[in-house]
Amino acid sequence: MSEQITELIDTIARQARDASRGISAATTAQKNQALEAIARELESNRKTLTEENQKDLQAAEQNGLTEAMIDRLRLTHDRIDGMAQGLRQLIDLPDPVGGLIEEKKRPNGLQIRKVRTPIGVIGIIYESRPNVTIDCAGLCLKSGNAAILRGGKEALHSNRALANIIANALQGTDLPKHSVQLIPTTDRSALNHLLTLDEYVHCIIPRGGEGLIRFVSENSRIPVIKHYKGVCNLYLDEGCDPAMAQDIAVSAKCGRPGVCNAIENLIVHSSLLDTLLPSIAQKLHEKGCQIFADQRATQAIGATPSQPAGDAEFAEEFLDLRIAIKTVDSLEDAISFINQFGSGHSESILSPSANRAEKFQREVDASSVYWNASTRFTDGFEFGLGAEIGISTDRLHARGPMGLEELCSYKYLIAGTGQWK
């Protein structure tokens, strides 16, 4: 690691710590003013952003990235406007800082309040999607946290342009200018050093592939909230509505296959093999989806092209137009399969039975468990949280879409009348 990179990351971390003390005390009005300033700056710089984004898209094509991954990189005028809209939605949401979680009066007269406070400095490590830069910046600002952002090499030009927009917008506000900083290099040594700076950084959130998350988890001195891969499953229970099943299965796989809440496995009750699965498989094939299937499913779909599916396919996050089909004979088998191969992200059952759906939702181990709805709704906007920092697959502190409240810790405020012991 070069001395220059070490000094750069040390400086960014110290500046973030200092900024966190100022932003934690900022008023709601001051934070909302900053969010509006960033939104306007985004709208005023659509042309610059798309030009810088085009450099990333050209490099992605040259490097052979899949169309689904390139789609994750792409910034259109509509997507830029969507980023600005997301910031304005955050303005409309309640400020979590200072929010009362619990209050009680003890027998000795002490009045105890438990209130939300910012975490402090949050380091966010992510890959590909440049809109994450704005989502994370907005959420951290509204929740009173300073942010250190480290994007992937695929979106380097886009992220630098977005970081400049944020910096320019903050200059005209009351928030510290270093409230949001981008690490301007994708050199792995910069990340390695950041993960050692527990004196300055209070939480690390990695968003990306399995390799990145494992690396961060294994090398960080700082607490990590993991946003692990999205191996999401859709289970078609016996008696499910055929039209609903076809609509949800096809859209949840083919709508945007490169996002983490798209399904990767389709689990089918054996009673549906001959009646429902063939038409769904044909629709998936028509959408360009490559099908992997177990032996019973392969026989059922007949002439529709497929390849054998095994444990490797069932455990894979494809992030592409590929899907694995698993046959089960019972609800219990479906639950067991999901708890073995799912990643704890989002799971869904399509069933006419409330009792069977309740059992599924109770026993499936995942952050978000659906009944008669697509996994594609696991999203901060859809949950009414505004933009999200990511989808946590951890169990401690936060799970599922992480909005403003999930970016807060808490402290106790105690008021007395002279009590002592």
CATH number, domain of 365, equals 3.40.309.10
Q: What is the pLDDT of residues 311-331, one digit of tens each?
A: 999 999 998 999 999 999 999
Do 289 and 149 share a structural domain?
no
In a domain, 420, yes or no: no
Is the CB of residue 230 less than 8 Å from the CB of residue 288? no
Is the CB of residue 253 less than 8 Å from the CB of residue 272? no
Q: Pairing between strand 391-392 and 400-401?
A: antiparallel
Percent of the chain with pLDDT over 70: 99
At 227 the pLDDT is 79
Over 80: is that where the pLDDT of 7 sits?
yes
C-alpha 372: how far from chain center: 22
Per-residue pLDDT, averaged over 105-129, amounts to 95
Do 122 and 16 share a structural domain?
yes
In a domain, 47, yes or no: yes
Q: What is the pLDDT of residues 272-303, one digit of tens each?
A: 999 999 999 999 999 999 999 999 999 999 99
In a domain, 170, yes or no: yes
Do 194 and 305 share a structural domain?
no
Number of domains in the chain: 2
Here the tokens at position 196 are 């050692």
Query: Which residue, 15, 25, 26, 387, is CA-closest to 201?
Result: 15
33 Cβ contact list (under 8 Å, min separation 6):
173, 174
8 Cβ contact list (under 8 Å, min separation 6):
183, 184, 185, 190
d(CA 62, CA 395): 39
Do 259 and 136 share a structural domain?
no
**Full domain range(s) for residue 48:** 3-225+402-415
Is the CB of residue 268 less than 8 Å from the CB of residue 298? no
In a domain, 138, yes or no: yes
Count each helix (H run) and each strand (E run) in the chain, helices first. Answer: 15, 16
CA distances from 188 to 6, 182, 279 (A): 12, 14, 47
Is the CB of residue 276 less than 8 Å from the CB of residue 242? yes
Over 80: is that where the pLDDT of 385 sits?
no
Q: What is the pLDDT of residues 39-74, one digit of tens each?
A: 999 999 999 999 999 999 999 999 998 887 898 899
The enclosing domain of 8 has a CATH number of: 3.40.605.10
In a domain, 338, yes or no: yes
Mean pLDDT over each residue of the chain, to the nearest integer:
94
Do 55 and 104 share a structural domain?
yes
Do 206 and 191 share a structural domain?
yes
Do 332 and 198 share a structural domain?
no
In a domain, 382, yes or no: no
What is the C-alpha end-to-end distance of the chain, expressed in Å?
Answer: 53
